[in-house]
């Protein structure tokens, strides 16, 4: 786990700042500070939280917010399956540890590759959880004082992070092909489907393409 802490340390400020921007957003969408913090501590999946409170803030129903969030988090089913073999112990323990799976902890610990290390994933996940929940609390309470967090360029930073994690995956032609198909499917679907669908469809396309070979 210590190695996980070390790997995640550089991401701590960025994750905390993103958490703060979620906290601010949640308040503008009429969640009180406690609800915002509880949501970050339990859901712990940034994009889906942003989507859900945005739907609520725009006057949408709880059902609409839930559907938007579930579509965005659907990718955690295949992501979890790629690391499932490493989880041991009682179902309750595995259930609890599974909650520390987020895109960053999964990819940075080698998820979906032979060098995957579950303890590194748990270390990264725990550290990012602290940053995310702490950041949310700061944003939810200090809201206006923080100002416009988009000026920090965090969205571009996470796009660059995923690019680096993708580059590390491109070890052979099969994986390059999977990345090209996945990226293309996502790009094509973004204008036509709700957020989240393009990512799950990209996964599905690669699975179908692989089986049809």
Partner 1 sequence: MSAAWACVIVVGVGTFALKAVGPVGVSGRKLPAHVVELLDMVAPAILAALVVTETFAHGRSLVIDARLVGVGAGLVAIVFRAPIWLVVLAGAVATAVARLVT
Residue with tokens 């799976």: 101
Q: Which stretch binds partner 1 (CB under 8 A): 75-83, 130-138, 139-147?
A: 75-83
**Of 53, 67, 33, nearest in space to 142 by CA:** 33
Binding test (CB under 8 A) with partner 1, winner from 1, 33, 76, 122 = 76
Binding test (CB under 8 A) with partner 1, winner from 33, 119, 126, 195 = 195
Specify the residue, 56 or 134, whose C-beta has the smaller distance to partner 1.
56
Rounded CA separation 86/101 (Å): 13
In angstroms, give the least distance from the CB of 133 to partner 1: 13
Residues 159-178 binding partner 1 (CB under 8 A) are 159-167, 169-170, 174-176, 178
List C-alpha distances in Å: 9 to 78, 110, 115, 130, 175.
26, 17, 20, 11, 28
Binding test (CB under 8 A) with partner 1, winner from 88, 115, 173, 212 = 88
Binding test (CB under 8 A) with partner 1, winner from 101, 124, 127, 137 = 101
Nearest 10 degrees: Cα torsion 204, 118, 72, 128: -150
Residues 119-148 binding partner 1 (CB under 8 A) are none
Binding test (CB under 8 A) with partner 1, winner from 43, 119, 130, 143 = 43
Please give the structure tokens belonging to residue 62.
């709880």
Half-sphere exposure of 52 (CA within 13 A, CB side): 23
Residues 13-42 binding partner 1 (CB under 8 A) are 14, 29-32, 35, 38-39, 42
Can residue 206 be called a binding residue for partner 1 (CB under 8 A)?
Answer: yes
**Could you tell me the sign of the dihedral formed by the alpha carbons of 78, 79, 84, 85, in that order?**
positive
């Amino acid at each position: 786990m210590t190695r996980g802490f070390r790997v995640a340390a550089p991401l701590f400020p960025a994750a905390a700042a993103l958490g703060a921007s979620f906290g601010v957003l949640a308040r503008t969408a009429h969640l009180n500070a406690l609800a915002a913090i509880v949501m970050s501590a339990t859901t712990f999946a940034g994009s889906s939280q942003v989507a859900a409170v945005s739907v609520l803030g725009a006057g949408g129903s709880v059902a609409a917010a839930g559907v938007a969030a579930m579509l965005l988090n659907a990718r955690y089913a295949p992501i979890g399956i790629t690391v499932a073999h490493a989880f041991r112990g009682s179902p309750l323990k595995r259930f609890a540890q599974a909650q520390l799976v987020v895109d960053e902890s999964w990819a940075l610990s080698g998820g979906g590759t032979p060098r995957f290390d579950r303890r590194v994933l748990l270390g990264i996940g725990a550290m990012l959880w602290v940053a995310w929940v702490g950041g949310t609390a700061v944003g939810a309470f200090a809201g206006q004082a923080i100002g416009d967090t988009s000026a920090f360029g965090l969205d571009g930073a996470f796009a660059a992070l995923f690019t680096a994690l993708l580059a590390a995956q491109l070890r052979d032609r099969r994986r390059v092909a999977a990345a090209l198909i996945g990226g293309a499917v996502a790009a094509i679907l973004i204008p036509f489907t709700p957020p989240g669908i393009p990512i799950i469809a990209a996964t599905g396309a690669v699975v179908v393409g692989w089986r049809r070979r």
